[in-house]
Amino acid sequence: MIQEDVLKALSTVQEPDLGKDLVTLNMVRDVEINGDNISFTVVLTTPACPLKETIKRDCVNAIKSRVNNHANVTVNFTASTTTIRADKSNVLPGVKNIIAVVSGKGGVGKSTVSANLALALSQGGASVGLLDADIYGPSVPIMFGVRGERPMMTDVNGKAMIIPLERYNIKLLSIGLLVDEKSAVVWRGPMVSSAVRQFITDVKWGELDYLVIDMPPGTGDIHLTLLQTAPVTGVVVVTTPQDVALADAKKGIAMFGQAQMNVPIIGLVENMSYFTPAELPNNKYYIFGKEGGKRLADEYDLPFLGQIPLVQSIREGGDIGVPIMMSDDEVSKTAFEEFAGTVARSVSMRNANMKSEEVAETVEER
Ligand SMILES: Nc1ncnc2c1ncn2[C@@H]1O[C@H](COP(=O)(O)OP(=O)(O)OP(=O)(O)O)[C@@H](O)[C@H]1O
């Protein structure tokens, strides 16, 4: 039994999303054979890959059926998050993927979704940052229990840079951590644009697999500034199943599809999909209507990224500075984990299939 036999067997195992085999995709490393013991490492395209178990099962089956029926197969996993950033700019140089979370309408849970998406990706093993770009209604300070804390500054090649705070293994920044909460509310156009640009250009985000940006609600100048400053990989649209939210989500989808913005939409997630009381975890009450988000995704031919239930502890977690992903509420956590896994998969697929010149890049010279 030699290494080539193992690789030949593994070349029959498909990466389900990328539609090619593991060997062609150069995902197999460190093959070791010791008698009946065969081990190797599969390098995934994202640590938050939800397909680990499928890939593992297929690898074991391939080795047993093609190499050695009695083999003890050990499949180790590691990940090297992919990126298609090809822009030469100095903007966020160490950040592989930038995910902007948007909503057409306020109050649909965009900040809750952003925070728990960031945490779920991080708990899956990725290095993650969360930028709260909601200048007029920052939520990160309260949601992460860091209200009143101030980030430090550092000097990078003669330039003063802000060091993001760190909480729950995530790098955080919000206007609410930089200025008095009442000040930013009265800011207008140029001040807001310059603050948003600074979040991207004057912050030492370092090496990140994903930077999640919690965008302001609606569609406006801040969005344009952000997309012109940061090379956004794609946008996640948050909606609730209600008709009014869906109507506004359509405006968001239209805006991000415009030539001026031209940023890919990763997909749509439906928040507050159904109410589940803690004492009846199997009951689902569709208070805001059923599957409106799914229908909207179908209508616009967008990937549907998942449903997040309306759960009292999700709201409570946000209010006390302990997001639900840091709690032991398994039902809500599973919903966010599945959603984050789908986002990570979509980004990996996009990275594998898209030419780098199709990526939204910084268009504004500074
Ligand atoms: N799935 C959920 N279950 C229960 N409560 C939720 C859920 N999602 C969000 N909430 C609560 O709804 C309120 C609004 O959520 P959030 O602040 O995340 O919305 P938003 O869209 O970011 O609002 P904004 O208009 O400020 O940008 C918060 O109190 C939050 O805790």
Of 37-46, 208-217, 273-282, 354-363, the poorest mean pLDDT is in: 354-363
**106 annotated as belonging to a binding site for a ligand:** yes
Confidence of residue 195 (pLDDT cuts 50, 70, 90): confident
Chain position carrying tokens 């160490």: 94
Q: Sketch the domain layout of the chain as residue ranges.
A: 3-79, 95-358
Q: Which residues of 218-228 are buried (b: 16+ CB within 10 A; e: fewer)?
A: bbeebbbbbbb
CB 172 within 8 A of CB 130: yes
Chain position carrying tokens 């801040």: 222
Residue 107 confidence (pLDDT): 87
**108 annotated as belonging to a binding site for a ligand:** yes
Chain position carrying tokens 């998050």: 81
Confidence of residue 357 (pLDDT cuts 50, 70, 90): very low
CB 17 within 8 A of CB 51: yes
Confidence of residue 88 (pLDDT cuts 50, 70, 90): low
What is the number of the ligand 1 atom nearest to the C-alpha of 312? 4
Confidence of residue 365 (pLDDT cuts 50, 70, 90): very low
Distance (Å) of CA 285 to CA 154, 272, 282, 289? 50, 10, 10, 9
Distance 315 CA to ligand 1 centre (A): 7
- Please report the DSSP string for 119-169 in residue order: HHHHHTT--EEEEE--TTS--HHHHTT-TT----EEEETTEEEEPPEEETT
How many other CB atoms are there within 10 angstroms of residue 161's CB atom? Answer: 18
Residue 82 has pLDDT above 70, yes or no: yes
Describe the crossing of helices 243-257 and 292-299 by its angle, rounded to 10 degrees. 30
DSSP secondary structure letter of residue 326: G
Q: Which residues of 341-366 are buried (b: 16+ CB within 10 A; e: fewer)?
A: bbbbbbbbbbbbeeeeeebbbbeeee
At 222-259, the pLDDT tens digits run 888 888 888 899 999 999 998 888 888 888 888 877 76
Confidence of residue 29 (pLDDT cuts 50, 70, 90): very high
At 273-296, the pLDDT tens digits run 999 887 887 889 999 989 889 999
Residue 279 confidence (pLDDT): 83
> Which has more confidence, 13 or 197?
13
CA count, 13 A, side-chain hemisphere, 39? 7
Report the nearest-CA residue for atom 3 of ligand 1. 310
Q: Which residues line ligand 1 (CB under 6 A)?
A: 103, 106-112, 134, 137, 139, 217, 271-272, 308, 310-311, 314-315, 318
At 35-65, the pLDDT tens digits run 999 999 999 999 888 889 999 999 999 999 9
Of 87-101, 156-170, 266-280, the poorest mean pLDDT is in: 87-101
**137 annotated as belonging to a binding site for a ligand:** no
User: How does the average pLDDT of the chain come out, rounded?
Assistant: 88
Residue 105 confidence (pLDDT): 82
> Which has more confidence, 186 or 351?
351
Distance 108 CA to ligand 1 centre (A): 6
Residue 305 confidence (pLDDT): 96
Confidence of residue 355 (pLDDT cuts 50, 70, 90): low
Q: Which fold has domain 3-79?
A: GMP Synthetase; Chain A, domain 3 (3.30.300)
pTM of the model: 0.91
What is the number of the ligand 1 atom nearest to the C-alpha of 317? 31
List of residues 6+ apart from 218 with CB closer than 8 A: 103, 104, 105, 106, 248, 251, 252
Please compute the mean of the pLDDT values over residues 326-352 and round it to a whole number. Answer: 93
Report residue 110 as tokens.
Answer: 């965009």
**318 annotated as belonging to a binding site for a ligand:** no
H helix count then E strand count, the chain: 10, 15
Residue 285 confidence (pLDDT): 93
Residue 87 confidence (pLDDT): 64
CA dihedral sign, ordered 174, 178, 182, 186: negative
CATH class of 95-358: alpha beta
Pocket probe for ligand 1: among 101, 103, 111, the residue whose CB has the most ligand atoms within 8 Å is 111
Q: If residue 223 lies in a helix (H) or strand (E), which one and from where to where?
A: helix 221-229
Residue 360 confidence (pLDDT): 44
CA dihedral sign, ordered 124, 133, 220, 231: negative
**107 annotated as belonging to a binding site for a ligand:** yes
Please tell me the distance from the alpha carbon of residue 120 to that of residue 111, in angstroms, as a whole number. 14
Please tell me the distance from the alpha carbon of residue 297 to that of residue 237, in angstroms, as a whole number. 10
Of 98-102, 189-193, 198-202, 272-276, the poorest mean pLDDT is in: 189-193
Residue 19 confidence (pLDDT): 86
How many other CB atoms are there within 10 angstroms of residue 340's CB atom? Answer: 31
Please tell me the distance from the alpha carbon of residue 246 to that of residue 334, in angstroms, as a whole number. 24
Residue 84 confidence (pLDDT): 83
Please tell me the distance from the alpha carbon of residue 192 to that of residue 186, in angstroms, as a whole number. 10
Please tell me the distance from the alpha carbon of residue 77 to that of residue 318, in angstroms, as a whole number. 33
